[in-house]
Amino acid sequence: MPRERQPARSTTTVILVILTGLIFFADLQFEFGFATWLPYFLLAIPVSGLYSRRVFLFSVGGWTVLITAKLAIHLPTDDLTTDLFNRTLGIVGLWITAYLLYQHRQLGRLRSEDEQRVRTMLDGALDAVITIDAHSIITTWNPQAEKTFGFPREEALGALLSDLIIPPAFREAHLKGLQRFLTKGDGPILNRRIEVTAVHKDGREFPIELTVMPLRMEGSISFCAFARDITERKALESTLRQAQESAEGASQAKSDFLANISHEIRTPLNAICGTTDLLLTTTLTAPQRRYAEMCAKASHTLLCLVTDLLDFSRIEAGQTQLEQAPFDVRQVIDRTVQLLTHRAEEKGLTLTFHLDPDVPQYIEGDAFRLHQVLLNLIVNALKFTKQGHVTVRATLAHPSKESSRIRFSVIDSGIGIPADQLERIFDRFTQVDSASSRHHGGVGLGLAICKRLVGLMGGRIWAESLAQSGSTFIVDLPLTAAAIPERPHGQENASRLLQTALPLVPSTPAEQRLHVLLAEDSLESQELMQFYFRDTPYQVEIVSDGERAVAAFQANRFDIVLIDLQMPGMDGFTATRSIRAWESAHQRSPTPILALTANAFREAEEQSLAVGCTGFLTKPITRPQLLDALNKYTLSAPAIDSQPQKVGASLDVAARIEQEIQQRRPQFLEHRRKDLGAMRQAAAQQDYEAIRTMGHRIKGVAGSYGFPDIGAVGQRLEQSARARDLAAIHREIEQLAAILVQLDQAA
């Protein structure tokens, strides 16, 4: 107890003792029947509040003794029972009062302790703690709030929060949000952590992390906010982001450099390999043949190394795109094994493969990348196996589970791998036999490429081995069984026209030619279709939009209509509906209408058929596909035999078409460079429809000109524009720019 309060407490004690004595003597002077002991109840109030629990209990006990003392000193003469009852009732009431006062005192003490605890917590909190009432007036402002915002507590309390720390641009939104909560009971920023801008006393704005909670107490509403200055964190995040972008840029530059230099090396190296192979077909002396064979072996080895570098750089640069198409598992494994059988025989090794009967014949995936992985693993096994065997197995990993996986194992009887190297061998530029005197070639990229390709395919690769006891490399891939495809995958690329026997169509008089209406907005697609229709019994009229297509159809008779579904203005869907309505109104039999689109989705096909299209062709379209479709849907057309009448003449037609496409490729690339500028401008203006249209056009025509990578970029641009993903759009635009640069450098 403070010393200055001790004299006051002593005086109070003396007064209370005197009052107790006066009450007792007054009680002695009055006759029974008077409740002269009632003032003890009044004395209990100050005693309970001023003194300790022990003193309070001692006082109540003393008053109890004094109340009963009168009975001992003066016995009543008339009614002892009544007086005894009254005093007993008084004593009980005194103790009940004392108990209630004691409980009130305890509650007050607990409340005081809670308030002190909360005050201590607020004062020691590392976050700024602010409370406001329903009118945005500040009622709590802890020391950390003073440090964070610069306003002292005396200045902050009673001020409007919006006038103190909220920037002018956000004050109206703050007041609207407050009013919304008062009327509707909700708010967009309540009970969640957000980042906002606040104002310091010196006028500067800075970022804070804010959490606001509504408080409902005794019919009133208030709000408690926890704020933290995140200026340093934001600066650190910016620094880390810049460092990451710098590192990614350096990695991208390294990958681009590696890809470019690998490509530059590979171009003359292909010539060396080709001329050396040609040289070996000529008459040579024995020394000359030996030298040429040495040159061929060395150049092919170097070509493999450069190819690995190029593949790895493309994977690291994110330029590797996987295909999803049905393929024959046995065929892929058999082809891979056959490629390396001769090498195995040269070393006296046995190379075999086994396919488990439970493995489906056709699965969905990228056949070429699986072939590449198996090829690398088998080459690696042959390299490190001196005698014995190399076996390839394909089994189901977990056939009992719902999501099965297919497991490919390459087993050899080679030198094996130490246990501490089993994980490290999949790192780039790493080999188990890495000493300077090692006997095996390579730069250690084969397994690294396998690991990354398997990862892209959603699988896992690992090795099991013991030193000097052979190795087993295992690849687990997701298994998706597929139906038998109608045609072998990959025969529709325009770059393979020379390998496809095209029908030789005899010249047909103009009056006997079938009339075709082509509605296509892309000039490049128009030119390509004109190439395809040469030397055919079809006369083509071309329009560039749906409205012109409808007008042309109403003005002339056509045997078949080819209509692009995605065109500016009136699209193919609307134009088809208009044509069908006009035919119905004029009682004309339906003309075959084939929908052309780069959207190879079932929904697009169903939608085109629903509006009245007869058939559906997916871009890029090859000449055989087009002529087959025309044969199918123009029943009055002269039959065009799917088998060539004269192979030589057919190949001349194919070669001529390929030559014209080759001549048009620079123009195609020049159009794409113009598209780059237009897409960048559209991205800056967030014109997603323009980007979607350009992406769709690129997707549809690029494959026909032999640029599948550009077509894939167009498809992703279209998808990103539909999703309004601006970051993805910028990525794909830069990807297109990089492809065009690579094509320029390769030219």
Q: Using the structure block, give the residue that is written with the tokens 């197995």.
A: 393
* Residue at 557 is within a domain: no
If one counts the domains in the chain, the total is 5
State phi, psi for 319 to the nearest 5 degrees.
-100, 5
Whether the Cβ atoms of residue 620 and residue 494 lie closer than 8 Å to each other: yes
Using 50, 70 and 90 to split pLDDT, how confident is the model at 550? very high
Residues 467 and 331 in one domain: yes
Across 261-285, average pLDDT? 65
* Residue at 592 is within a domain: no
Across 613-635, average pLDDT? 76
Measured in whole angstroms, how far is the alpha carbon of residue 721 from the centre of its chain? 16
- The yes-or-no verdict on residue 272 having pLDDT over 60 is yes
* Residue at 206 is within a domain: yes
Residues 184 and 101 in one domain: no
Residues 147 and 93 in one domain: no
State the chain's mean pLDDT as an integer. Answer: 76
Residues 208 and 278 in one domain: no
Which residues are registered as beta bridge partners of 133? 222
* Residue at 564 is within a domain: no
Residues 296 and 348 in one domain: no
Residues 28 and 106 in one domain: yes
pLDDT at 646: 39
pLDDT at 448: 81
Q: Percentage helix, strand, coil, to 5, in the chain? A: 55, 15, 30
* Residue at 429 is within a domain: yes
Stated as kind and residue range, the H or E segment containing 632 is helix 623-633
Question: How do residues 250-266 score in pLDDT, each as one tens digit?
Answer: 766 766 666 566 556 65
Whether the Cβ atoms of residue 424 and residue 411 lie closer than 8 Å to each other: no
pLDDT at 260: 61
Question: How do residues 388-414 score in pLDDT, each as one tens digit?
Answer: 889 999 988 876 555 578 899 999 888
Domain boundary residue among 457, 478, 499?
A: 478
Q: Give me 628's structure tokens.
A: 């087959």
pLDDT at 262: 58
Question: How do residues 527-543 score in pLDDT, each as one tens digit?
Answer: 777 777 877 778 888 99
Is the overall model pTM greater than 0.85, yes or no?
A: no
Whole domain around residue 219: which residue ranges? 125-229
pLDDT at 242: 87
Residues 363 and 460 in one domain: yes
Instruction: List, in order, residues 6 or more apart from 243 with CB less than 8 Å away.
Output: none
Using 50, 70 and 90 to split pLDDT, how confident is the model at 576? very high
Question: How do residues 297-341 score in pLDDT, each as one tens digit?
Answer: 777 667 666 666 666 666 666 666 777 888 888 888 888 888 788
CATH of the domain at 732: 1.20.120.160
Task: List, as one string, the DSSP characters of 673-728.
Answer: HHHHHHHHHHHHTT-HHHHHHHHHHHHHHHGGGT-HHHHHHHHHHHHHHHHT-HHH
pLDDT at 639: 43
pLDDT at 704: 67
Across 462-472, average pLDDT? 79
CATH of the domain at 175: 3.30.450.20
Domain boundary residue among 69, 91, 122?
A: 122
* Residue at 176 is within a domain: yes
Residues 463 and 346 in one domain: yes
Across 2-28, average pLDDT? 70
* Residue at 56 is within a domain: yes
Question: How do residues 37-46 score in pLDDT, each as one tens digit?
Answer: 778 777 877 7
- The yes-or-no verdict on residue 470 having pLDDT over 50 is yes
pLDDT at 2: 45
Across 66-70, average pLDDT? 76
Using 50, 70 and 90 to split pLDDT, how confident is the model at 140? confident
Q: Give me 671's structure tokens.
A: 């159009």
pLDDT at 34: 59
pLDDT at 432: 52
pLDDT at 553: 92
Determine how β-strand 389-396 pairs with β-strand 405-412. antiparallel
Where is pLDDT greater, at 547 or 502? 547
- The yes-or-no verdict on residue 357 having pLDDT over 80 is yes
Residues 107 and 166 in one domain: no
Measured in whole angstroms, how far is the alpha carbon of residue 331 from the centre of its chain? 35
The CA distance from 717 to 732, in Å, is 6
Domain boundary residue among 229, 248, 265?
A: 229
Residues 107 and 140 in one domain: no
CATH of the domain at 447: 3.30.565.10
Where is pLDDT greater, at 253 or 441? 253
The CA distance from 442 to 383, in Å, is 10
pLDDT at 408: 92
Residues 113 and 212 in one domain: no
pLDDT at 579: 92
Q: What's the start-to-end Cα distance of the chain, in Å?
A: 96
* Residue at 637 is within a domain: no
Report the alpha-carbon angle 166-168-174, nearest 5: 55
Residues 364 and 467 in one domain: yes
Where is pLDDT greater, at 486 or 688? 688
pLDDT at 401: 55
State phi, psi for 393 to the nearest 5 degrees.
-125, 145
CATH of the domain at 291: 1.10.287.130
